[in-house]
């Protein structure tokens, strides 16, 4: 009898799809969880759930406390309740897989965030004792792991500090909603509700935090303030949103619309209204990850304008599929030129759109089956 227990303190649609895939080959599938984010696809009812404390991201201290508490609870449950189960760890809490320093179960690790590398954000770097010790544990545990999975080539390169590169399996992400699809503007209620008919819509939909460089998009809007046919939609929230709104107000820009987070059921319409979708990350984050919203933009056939380093994961993606361009954060003039070019050349815009749609075929929920090794 094949039995597997998944460990993930805060899980979303990716793990839902992976768990459902595992039910096809395992007799019993269990999820140890803190929270499960609601999404379009539901967990197979045969999956058993075992709850621990929820992940609290409201402050650095609360993150650490809930990580430590969650890891302790996970260890207790694995040791007492799941002695004869295979374990699949997801790196939230990031130290959960360290439980296998003591446990004998066969295990795999799905690496969404690389630790101890990410500790550099709080000043713990290579020379630090914690960094050195965790690195040593990584080498020991990854060598023992049945599988080590991660989401991108950049993440795999970083993990190669701890395990041979050819032992790492890269499984790309996929869209969170199967209803994402291209939609004619005349049939799109979002276009009608926000009076976007006849507009070339440049859209940013997501978090507006310190790592997202959305200020470059506002700079583009300033330079294009006299282009009545180009409109910027900035949807979401975050620590820098108020600052961005203040800039738009002080500049008297009428070509920008800010909106709060939209309900999930509206996203297929809002994203399909975009003629150009913007994806942005800071230098360090962009080297190892691609925002999940990217795959939703691909699914609606949206060309991409990426604000990220030229050697980033998102730059690799648009280079491979030829569905957009990537710009450094200070290349505002080039971004403006690209926006103007696409808004004036519908044939080129449609070509990039078709390439995005073609790319989306490589990022579907079928990728969840690749975790079955």
Mean pLDDT of 245-250: 97
| Phi, then psi, of 145 in degrees rounded to 5 | -65, 145
Identify the pLDDT of residue 139.
Answer: 97
Share the mean pLDDT of the chain: 93
Identify the pLDDT of residue 105.
Answer: 97
The tokens of 199 are what?
């507009």
Identify the pLDDT of residue 286.
Answer: 61
Identify the pLDDT of residue 53.
Answer: 96
The confidence band for 300, taking pLDDT boundaries of 50, 70 and 90, is: very high
pLDDT tens for 105-137 read: 999 999 988 888 877 666 777 888 888 999 999
The residue count of the chain comes to 373
pLDDT tens for 186-230 read: 999 999 999 999 999 999 999 898 778 899 999 999 999 999 999
pLDDT above 70: percentage of residues in the chain: 97
DSSP string, 274-308: -SEEEEE--HHHHTT---THHHHHHHTT--EEEES
Domains of the chain (ranges; CATH) run 3-171 (3.40.50.2000), 185-360 (3.40.50.2000)
pLDDT tens for 272-293 read: 999 999 998 766 666 666 788 8
Query: Does the predicted model carry a pTM greater than 0.75?
Result: yes
Residue 358 CB-density burial (10 A; 0-12 exposed, 13-18 middle, 19+ buried): middle
Mean pLDDT of 221-240: 95
Identify the pLDDT of residue 122.
Answer: 66
Identify the pLDDT of residue 343.
Answer: 97
pLDDT tens for 88-100 read: 999 999 999 999 9
Q: What is the DSSP letter of 365?
A: G
Indicate if the pLDDT at residue 309 is higher than 70: yes
The confidence band for 179, taking pLDDT boundaries of 50, 70 and 90, is: confident
Cis preceding linkage at 116, omega within 30: yes
Identify the pLDDT of residue 121.
Answer: 62
Identify the pLDDT of residue 153.
Answer: 86
Identify the pLDDT of residue 154.
Answer: 84
Mean pLDDT of 34-53: 93
Indicate if the pLDDT at residue 168 is higher than 90: yes
Q: What is the DSSP letter of 263?
A: P
CB count within 10 Å of CB 236 equals 19
How does 1-33 read in b/e, with b if 16+ C-beta sit within 10 Å?
Answer: eeebbbbbbbbebbbbbbbbbbbeebebbbbbb
Identify the pLDDT of residue 125.
Answer: 76
């Amino acid at each position: 009898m094949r039995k597997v227990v998944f460990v993930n303190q805060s899980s979303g649609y990716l793990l839902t799809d992976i768990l459902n895939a595992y039910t096809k080959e395992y007799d019993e599938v269990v999820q140890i969880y803190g929270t499960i984010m609601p999404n379009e696809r539901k967990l197979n009812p045969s999956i058993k759930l075992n709850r621990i404390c929820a992940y609290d991201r409201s402050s650095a201290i609360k993150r650490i406390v809930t990580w430590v508490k969650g890891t302790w609870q996970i260890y207790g449950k694995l040791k007492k309740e799941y002695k004869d189960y295979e374990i699949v760890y997801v790196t939230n809490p990031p130290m959960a897989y360290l439980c296998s320093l003591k446990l004998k179960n066969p295990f795999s690790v799905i690496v969404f965030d690389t630790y101890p590398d990410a500790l550099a954000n709080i000043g713990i770097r290579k020379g630090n004792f914690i960094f050195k010790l965790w690195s040593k544990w990584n080498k020991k545990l990854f060598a023992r792991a049945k599988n080590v999975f991660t989401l991108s080539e950049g993440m795999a390169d970083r993990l190669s500090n701890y395990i041979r590169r050819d032992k790492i399996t890269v499984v790309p992400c996929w869209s969170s909603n199967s209803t994402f699809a291209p939609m004619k503007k005349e049939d799109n209620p979002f276009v009608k509700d926000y009076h976007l008919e006849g507009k070339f819509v440049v859209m940013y939909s997501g978090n507006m935090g310190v790592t997202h460089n959305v200020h470059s998009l506002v700079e583009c809007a300033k330079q294009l303030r006299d282009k009545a046919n180009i409109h910027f939609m900035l949807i979401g929230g975050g620590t820098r949103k108020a600052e961005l709104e203040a800039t738009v107000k002080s500049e008297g820009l009428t070509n920008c619309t800010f909106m709060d987070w939209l309900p999930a059921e509206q996203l297929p319409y809002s994203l399909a209204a975009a003629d150009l979708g913007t994806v942005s990350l800071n230098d360090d984050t962009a080297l190892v990850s691609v925002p999940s919203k990217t795959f939703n933009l691909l699914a609606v056939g949206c060309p991409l304008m990426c604000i990220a380093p030229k050697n980033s994961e998102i730059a690799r993606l648009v280079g491979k599929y030829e569905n957009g361009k990537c710009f450094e954060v200070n290349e505002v003039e080039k971004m403006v030129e690209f926006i103007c070019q696409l808004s004036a050349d519908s044939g080129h815009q449609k070509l990039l759109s078709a390439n995005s749609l073609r790319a989306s075929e490589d990022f579907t929920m079928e990728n969840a089956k690749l975790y079955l090794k």
